[in-house]
Amino acid sequence: MLKIPLKEIKEKLLSSGKISEEDFNARIKAKINELSGLISEEGAAHIIANELEVELVSSENKKLTVKDIYSGMRNVETIVKVIQKYEVREFNKGDNKGKVCSILAGDETGSLRIVFWNDQVDLISNLKESDILHIQDSYVKEGFNGRKELHLGKLGHININPSGVSIGEVRQTNTFERKSIQDLQGGENSAEIMGTIVQVFDPRFFHVCPECSRRVVESGESYTCAEHNEVTPNLSYVLNLVLDDGTSNIRAVFWKDQSNKLLDKTESDFGNFKDNIGSFEDVKNDLLGEQFILKGRVKKNEMFDRLEFSVSFVEKANPDKEIARVEEVV
């Protein structure tokens, strides 16, 4: 069964004009009684939609906007814009060896995670923020925290930057909950913190394969990827700093894209820092005392027994917005 929230089924039925709100509520109750409570409200609503011959989801194969995509759907076609590409992760569980990469993408109606496995990861190796993806024959699974997750599957197709297609500003539907740093416990997947930068460390540099973004092995002048052999690598880096919000402080980890955002720098700027790390001192000094909002995940670093904030989005704190936010909360 498709996982359509009760509220949305109700909206669709009411807008069909075939039932009033009062009748809908009464009929849900009656249906649950009739089936001795063995059915959820969503299940009852599905049956009522069926009885009223209201199509909750179009059966024609047409392009769906993100808001109309539900867990359980197959043969989904959609066009989305990339918001963020996450690191490629490799796994090795017994005979089960492979890699997985996910991205956050969306359109004007919402956002969702798209997951790519194994060979599919290579299809998106050069994917950048704001690239447009035309996806066909994908399926939708319920992911972490009940969020919908698009999978390409064996039959899926992906077309990157098809001509003549554009998408406006993406409506981000995953919400990050504002937290005080002292309340973070580790394991939060979408937390937001705001604070002042009190310490900045030098970036650490490494090289990655341009094909698959995995780290390469360096020997003398040559770089070798486990899968793509000898390659001319791209530069990658990670920057750590400490953010303090008055309740406590936490080490925040910025991978390449977020480091570029934080400092408004490019890969070639970081190449210069690598060659002359002394020139990074000014950047560090400029960052100290600045206020930022960070969105991302909180992880426990077992080796150092401390929490770390892995940054997915960074923006400068805007005092006016902050005042408005606090007033709203109060």
- Going through 108-248 in order, the beta strands assigned E by DSSP cover 110-117, 132-142, 148-151, 157-160, 177-178, 191-200, 204-208, 217-219, 222-225, 229-230, 234-244
Question: Is the Cβ–Cβ distance between 85 and 129 less than 8 Å?
Answer: yes
Nearer to Zn ion by Cβ, of 153 and 210: the residue is 210
The dihedral region occupied by 137, where left means phi > 0, alpha psi between -120 and 50, and beta the remainder, is: left
Q: How many helices and strands in the chain, by DSSP H and E?
A: 8, 18
CB 186, CB 201: distance < 8 Å = no
Query: Smallest gap, in angstroms, from Cβ of residue 207 to Zn ion?
Result: 11
CA distance 19 to 256: 53
Return the residue matching tokens 């909206």.
11
Residue 213 CB, shortest distance to Zn ion, in Å, is: 8
Question: Least separation, in Å, of the C-beta of 210 and Zn ion?
Answer: 8
Among the listed ranges 116-124, 207-215, 244-252, 265-273, the one in contact with Zn ion (CB under 5 A) is 207-215
Distance of alpha carbon 239 from its chain centroid, rounded? 20
Closest distance of CB 258 from Zn ion, Å:
22
Least distance from Zn ion to the Cβ atom of residue 223, Å: 10
Nearer CB in complex with Zn ion: 218/227: 227
Binding mask 67-86 for Zn ion (x = CB under 5 A): --------------------
Based on CB atoms, which residue is closest to Zn ion, 209 or 298? 209
Structure tokens at 21: 């709100």
Work out whether the CA dihedral 58, 64, 66, 70 comes out positive or negative: positive
* Shortest reach from residue 211's CB to Zn ion, in Å: 4
Among 4, 115, 181, 209, which residue interacts with Zn ion (rule: CB under 5 A)?
209
Q: Which residue has the tokens 């996450």?
A: 86
At 6, which amino acid appears? L
Closest CB to Zn ion among residues 227, 322: 227
Closest-approach residue to Zn ion (CB): 209
Q: Which is nearer to Zn ion, 211 or 245 (CB)?
A: 211
Burial of 195 (0-12, 13-18, 19+ CB in 10 A): buried
Nearer Cβ to Zn ion, position 129 or 211?
211
Measured from the CB atom, is 231 or 311 closer to Zn ion?
231
> Three-state SS for 279?
helix
**Listed ranges 171-179, 191-199, 202-210, 259-267: which one lies at the site for Zn ion (CB under 5 A):** 202-210
Binding mask 151-190 for Zn ion (x = CB under 5 A): ----------------------------------------
Question: Closest distance between Zn ion and the C-beta of residue 92, in Å?
Answer: 16
CB closer to Zn ion, 56 vs 231? 231
Q: Is 185 exposed, middle or buried (0-12, 13-18, 19+ CB in 10 A)?
A: exposed
Q: Is 315 in the site for Zn ion (CB under 5 A)?
A: no
Q: Which is nearer to Zn ion, 77 or 122 (CB)?
A: 122
Kindly state the smallest distance separating residue 86's Cβ from Zn ion, in Å: 17
H/E element holding 281?
helix 280-287
For the bound state, the minimum distance from the C-beta of residue 128 to Zn ion, rounded and expressed in Å, comes to 18
The residues facing 191 across adjacent strands are 177, 296
Binding part of the chain for Zn ion, among 7-15, 183-191, 208-216, 258-266 by CB under 5 A, reads: 208-216
Q: Contacts with Zn ion in 211-240 (CB under 5 A)?
A: 211-212, 225, 227-228
Residues that bind Zn ion (CB under 5 A): 209, 211-212, 225, 227-228
